[in-house]
Structures are given as C-alpha cells and as structure tokens.
Amino acid sequence: MDIQSLIGQKIGKYLVLEQIGKGGMAFVYKAIDQSLERHVALKVLIITNKKPEESALMFKYFVREAKSLAKLIHPNIVSMIDFGEEDGFPYLIMPYLSGGTLKSLPKPMPYIEAIQYIEPIARALDYAHKQNIIHRDVKPSNILLTENKEPMLSDFGVAKLLSTELQGGLTATGGVVGTPSYMPVEQWYEKVVPQSDQYALGVVLFELLTGRLPFEAKTPVDMVVKQSKEAAPQAHQLNPTIPEELSRIIAKTLALDVQARYKEMLDFAIALSPFKQKEYSAPPASTSFATSAPRPIKEQEKYSVLATSKTPALVIYLLDVSSSMTLPMGDKRRVDIVMEALYAALQQMVFRSTKGTRVSPRYRIAMYAYSDHVYDLLDGIRTVDYIANLGIPELETMRSTDTARGFKQVEKLLIQELPRLDECPAPLVCHMTDGEFTGNDPQEIVKRIMNMKVPDGNILVENIFISDSLMKDSIEDVRKWSGISPHNQLDNEYANQLRTISSVLPASYTLMMRESGYQIASGALMMLPGINRDLIEMGFVMSSSTPVSHSR
C-alpha cells in the first residue's frame, strides 16, 4: 500500500476522499465512514520497514497504546473513534473538523483571542496528565478548530505511538520525538515530564501573541544550545499590547529548569483565566429577569446539593425522533447535530466525574427516544462512565410525535426513583423536540412532573425546541446571550406553550453555565430556541450543569 496516494481507496470501512495533511509522522486524509455516512479524519502512521516479527510486536504495542488513548474523553481533545491496520500500516480514525488549525490563523493576534484558544487546551492537557498521558508534540498544527472556532487538541499520543519504543520494539531505547521549535531541553534528552507539554504550550502562546518563536536556530543542535544558554525574550517587549503580568506567566512556562515552571498544567490555566475575560464583562449582579423582590434565603439554598459519586445527579433525556428531525440544518441533519451536542454534554459529565486517573461517576443517565412510541435507549438508568465506554445508540427517525406518551414514561421513572434521591441533586428532565405534539396534550403531565420534589428542590424541566425561526430578535453571539425570560413572546405558538412548562434556571446552574463561557442571566428559563447548532449545543451544556465540587 502506498500511503502517499490513497485517494479513492478503501481502508477498513472508510473510503478515502482527499489528502488534508502531511507531517513527519503521518499522512492525514479526509474519508467517509460508509456505514454511518459521516466524514472522518484518517491518519495513516509512517513507519520504517520491519521484519514480520517486528511488525507483529509493533502492532501489539500500537493496539495497547491506542486503547489507552481512546479513553481520553474531554471537550477539548479530539477523540479517537477507531483504529486498525492495513497492509502493515497502523491507522487512527478521528472526527473530521473543518475549522483549520491554530497554525493557519494570522499572527500576532489580540491577547484576549489567544487566551481563549490556549486556556482550554491547558485544561485538556491537565486532564490528560492526570491520566498519566503526556502529549509530547504540542504545536499550532496539532490544535484543531471546530466550525465554531473551539480549540481541540489533536494527535494525542501519536508521538508516543511512533517513538522508538514502537519503531524498534517494546524494549528499545533512544531517539527523540517531537517538533524542535516547541521542545524543551529535557525532551531532547528523553526526560519527558508533564511540564514538557507546558513548555510547548507556552511557546505556542508566545507565537500567537508575537508572531515569532522565542528561539530560532538553523539546526537542532543550535536550538538546544540557545535554549540552554539564553533566556526567552519577554513577550510584552515584542508586542507592547501584551500585559506585563501575562508576559511573566509565559516566561514561567519557558523556564529552562522544569521545577521553575508551574507544578501542574491546571495552575497555568488558572493563571491565564483572568486575561480571557479582560474585555468581556459578565452581566452585572443586578441583571435578572425577576420582577419581584429578592427570594428568601431558604429559596436561594435550593438546587445547591453537589453531584458526587455517592449522591449522583439524575438526568433524563427525552428526545423527539419524528421524521422531521431528518431536515437539514446547515450542512447536517437536525438529528446528527443533536447527537453531537448530546455526546459533548456527556463528555463534560465524564470530565467533571474524573478524579486523578479514575472516573467516579457523578451522573446517572436515562435516555428515551419517542415518536408514536417510546424507546428506552439505554435499557434503564446508566452511570455516565458506562455510556462513555459503550457510546450512545444512534437515533433513528420514525413517524409522528406523541409527546405526552414520552413524558408519561418519564413520570413513571421518576415515581420509581424519587424515594432513593433524598440526598441527591434535584433530577433534571431535558426534552428536545422540533415540532408540535400529536395525540394528547403533554402539559398536564409535565406540570405534575415539575411539582415532584426532593429536599434539594422541584424536578427541573428543560426544553430545547429546534426550529428555523423562533426569536423575534436575532442572537448575534450565543455565549453573550442572556436567555429567554418568563415574559418573552416567541414567534411560534407551540414554543410559547413549551415556555410555560420550562423551569427557571437555578442560580447554581447559572454559575456552572458561566464557567462554560455562557453569560446567561439569572432568572432565565431552561428553554433554548434551537435555531442553530450553537444554541442546540448550549441546551445540552445546560443539561449537564448540575453543580459539582470544584475539587473533582
């Protein structure tokens, strides 16, 4: 197999469409998964010629490492969908992202913009380090961008998969893996530690802000000499718009001595956070849709129970799968966008449930799809780590929309579960639909559900209504949107009915939403007008915003 020319060929179940990238370690192609009819990125790894016994040992190691990397589930890490081997060449399958990479963006860029790219990647690396995985090759071309310009760290572990341990067998040593301009001195000597990734990310941030690298040399040897003998220039001296404090933070990551850098990547992320918000003012404390006097303290204390492994939150998804969900929204079907947003929300739940190298599930999930029948997609309530390991069943669209039947199933489940939830956060029902119901009116059933309660508060009901047009005013920036108030009138009669059976967003959920970058106002309703992909994603983020302990 000639891995430099695979266009039109089939690798496993993937048909290769075009080459989209090439590096020293792999060729990257855009391909299509013919069974699921979705685009993917196919990365074929470049390896040296091997004897049959060496190839067998190499692939055994590759499978072991690939399985380890597949367990990385984080909102800012490109997930591994599949892996395999074709004619002796290992390959990886990942989601296809169409937004380009940090390498393609113009530089220098405003520091606010740069921090918005780098801070989430720092948190992603911190998560990986806590799983005992080091990236080894952080650079702009490995930070991909979604269509909405969200940063996603790619090639996690590819450097390790292609290290001399892989190339020469499980016991071989020697060889340096990485990209010279972004490698710290210790990596040249094969002493890779988590702070090595921190150095590389510091170089990326320096480059975004100044338009140049901190060290430049003609040969790798010259690069090591420069790094060992010279201090990196101060970023604010090259670009006066950079705050000096931010310049000092970058300098700390570029320190020659590993011990002089931040102890953990999370410390780096926390140091960057204030600069991400510098020009973005959060809504003032007085911003609220409430028109009455402040609620009493007792009311404010509701919805304050934290989700833990001992007191997990119950989230019930009720998903409309009527035939209209196949209608297009941009370049995808509505149902596909919902699947992606739901999967991202579950990834966030897994991330919030991760402590060290172990997932301690803080969420229990039930998932129903409904048309004129109701389908239990998970066969009962499952912990979020169980779903992460097995994946989400594909949604198949069917016929009409018997919403009342769907909520009746939810009500039945809650009646069974409520006696066991006295010490848990109030359950949440996230209902997604794209049209009016057929059959009985669901409002009476939903109101009964909303009147159910546990000590933490009443059952919360959220509605995501997918439609081409709902709002009288356009929403320019989803992350700055303040939400729907109890008094908003929408351009759709059924949407206005759903508004009356949507809970008010609790203050604790508001804080979690703001941590996720949304500026939704206090007192907004748990109702999202799914008029585009971003708002649908925001709706599912809301469903995963049960308060959790920051210590994880």
Q: For residue 347, what is the enclosing H or E element?
A: helix 334-352
Name the residue among 389, 388, 453, 385 with its Cα closest to residue 421.
Answer: 453
**Any catalytic annotation for residue 376?**
no
Q: What is the pLDDT of residue 525?
A: 93
Lowest mean pLDDT across 126-140, 282-296, 493-507 = 282-296
Q: How far apart are the first and last CA of the chain?
A: 47
Q: What is the pLDDT of residue 284?
A: 39
Q: For residue 44, what is the enclosing H or E element?
A: strand 38-45
The residues that bridge with 428 in the sheet, in sequence order, are 315, 460
Name the residue among 513, 518, 150, 112 with its Cα closest to residue 276.
Answer: 112
Cβ(334)–Cβ(340) below 8 Å: no
Task: Compute the average pLDDT of residues 282-303.
Answer: 40
Q: What is the pLDDT of residue 86?
A: 84
The residues that bridge with 375 in the sheet, in sequence order, are 369
Question: In angstroms, how far is CA 116 from the centroid of its own chain?
Answer: 14
In this prediction, residue 172 has a pLDDT band, given cuts at 50, 70 and 90, of very low
The residues that bridge with 528 in the sheet, in sequence order, are 464
**Token digits of residue 551:** 């210590």
Name the residue among 471, 458, 401 with its Cα closest to residue 432.
Answer: 401
- Residue 71 CB neighbours (<10 A): 15
Q: What is the pLDDT of residue 299?
A: 38
- Round to whole Å and give the CA distance between 161 and 252: 30
260 versus 173: the higher-pLDDT residue is 260
- Residue 419 CB neighbours (<10 A): 8
* Residue 221, C-beta contacts closer than 8 angstroms, at least 6 positions apart: none
Mean residue pLDDT of the chain comes to: 82
Most confident of 50-59, 279-288, 474-483: 474-483
What's the pLDDT tens digit per position in 102-146? 999 999 999 999 999 999 999 999 988 888 888 999 999 999 998
Q: Which domains does the chain have, with CATH numbers?
A: 10-95 (3.30.200.20), 102-276 (1.10.510.10), 308-543 (3.40.50.410)
**Token digits of residue 61:** 């190691």
Q: Does the pLDDT value for residue 286 go beyond 60? A: no
Sign of CA dihedral 276, 280, 286, 287: negative
229 versus 62: the higher-pLDDT residue is 229
Cβ(112)–Cβ(276) below 8 Å: yes
Name the residue among 542, 436, 540 with its Cα closest to residue 497.
Answer: 436
DSSP state letter for 330: T
What's the pLDDT tens digit per position in 336-352? 899 889 988 888 888 88
283 versus 73: the higher-pLDDT residue is 73
Q: Give the active site residue among 33, 126, 137, 197.
A: 137
Task: Compute the average pLDDT of residues 520-531.
Answer: 88
Place of tokens 């969900």: 325
Q: Write out the DSSP string of 383-421.
A: EHHHHHHH-PPPP---S---HHHHHHHHHHHHHHHGGG-
Q: Does the pLDDT value for residue 50 go beyond 70? A: no
- Round to whole Å and give the CA distance between 429 and 367: 10
Please give the model's pTM, rounded to 2 decimal places: 0.51
Q: For residue 334, what is the enclosing H or E element?
A: helix 334-352
SS3 475: coil
Burial label, 378 (beta-carbon count in 10 A; 0-12, 13-18, 19+):
middle
Residue 142 to residues 31, 93, 181, Cα–Cα distance (Å): 19, 15, 14
Q: Does the pLDDT value for residue 434 go beyond 60? A: yes
SS3 457: strand
Q: Over 68-82, what HEC string results? A: HHHCCCCCCECCCCE
What's the pLDDT tens digit per position in 240-250? 999 999 999 99
* Residue 103, C-beta contacts closer than 8 angstroms, at least 6 positions apart: 139, 140, 141
Cβ(94)–Cβ(40) below 8 Å: yes
Q: What is the pLDDT of residue 37?
A: 85
- Round to whole Å and give the CA distance between 218 and 510: 52
Q: What is the pLDDT of residue 378?
A: 86
